[in-house]
Amino acid sequence: MTDNRALADTVKVLAFDVFGTVVDWHGSIVREMRERYPQVDGDAFARAWRAGYAPAMARVMSGEQGWTLLDTLHRQILEEILGRFGLAHLDEAQRRHLNRVWHRLDGWPDSAPALTRLKRRFTICTLSNGNIGLLTDMARHAGLPWDCVLSAEVFRAYKPDAATYTGVARVFDIEPAEVMMVAAHANDLAAARQHGLRTAFIERPLEFGAGHPKDVSPQAGNDLHCRDLLDLAGQLGA
């Protein structure tokens, strides 16, 4: 582990992964399904929708599909799974509203208060594959006080493309080592380190729901390992 005081003095920008790290996508979708479509297994539906995420990204990153906003990719995945869950009858308005549940995700309980503390000392921004409109709506819904919303849309590249990580440093005219990537996903942090960023791992054992706990064991290479975002704020002296 790096000395936290020295680390806090070096880092100028905290760049946050959002889905799973800052907001509870699984729990939010389960609640939405319970309220609107109680006949559907919300846990299975949420995980099936999310399971389409990596293959959709791969199609764009390989060039098989042209540059596509995440809202559109979410809609494509939704169309693929509706029939499986007995929802093929939904009309266009219902499908559009359901797809925009990603704009209405709730933050983890620690997220808003921790971000409020952190922004007193650091510039805080998103670094998400979500598109700008999605992330802005989500911030308003969940009370997330970002200084800046950075998205794959800005760089026209999805993480883990180098352009996303180095792009943060370029936007703020600082060195990559002055940016800390904050995420609950080891692969995201590994890619960030590869491009010179500092990294903080956030434990989110219930990202996929209580029935599917994640391994949140410390990973070699990260500068910080934190229980949640309030722990991150404490470790950085915010």
Residue 165 belongs to a domain with what CATH number?
A: 3.40.50.1000
Say whether both 127 and 209 belong to one domain: yes
pLDDT given for residue 1 in this prediction: 43
- The answer to whether residues 93 and 128 touch, using CB atoms and an 8 Å cutoff, is no
pLDDT given for residue 192 in this prediction: 98
- CA count, 13 A, side-chain hemisphere, 21: 24
Backbone phi, then psi, for 175, in 5-degree steps? Answer: -80, 150
Q: State the amino acid at position 103 in one-letter form.
A: H
pLDDT given for residue 5 in this prediction: 86
Low-confidence residues of the chain: pLDDT under 50: 1-2
135-185 residue pLDDT tens = 999 999 999 999 999 999 999 999 999 999 999 999 999 999 999 999 999
Number of domains in the chain: 2
Q: Which CATH number characterizes residue 93's domain?
A: 1.10.150.240
Q: Which domain holds residue 209?
A: 4-24+106-235
Runs of H (alpha helix) within the chain: 4-10, 25-36, 42-51, 53-61, 70-81, 92-99, 111-118, 132-142, 152-155, 162-172, 186-194, 229-235
Say whether both 57 and 159 belong to one domain: no
Q: Count of CB atoms within 10 A of residue 50's CB?
A: 18
Please identify, among 45, 69, 104, the residue that sits at the C-terminal boundary of a domain: 104
Say whether both 117 and 211 belong to one domain: yes
Say whether both 61 and 46 belong to one domain: yes
Could you tell me the two tokens for 76? 């494509």
The secondary structure element, H or E, covering residue 85 is none
pLDDT given for residue 90 in this prediction: 98
Say whether both 18 and 33 belong to one domain: no
205 secondary structure, DSSP code: T
Please name every residue paired with 16 in a beta bridge, in sequence order, or none if there are none. 126, 182
Say whether both 127 and 221 belong to one domain: yes
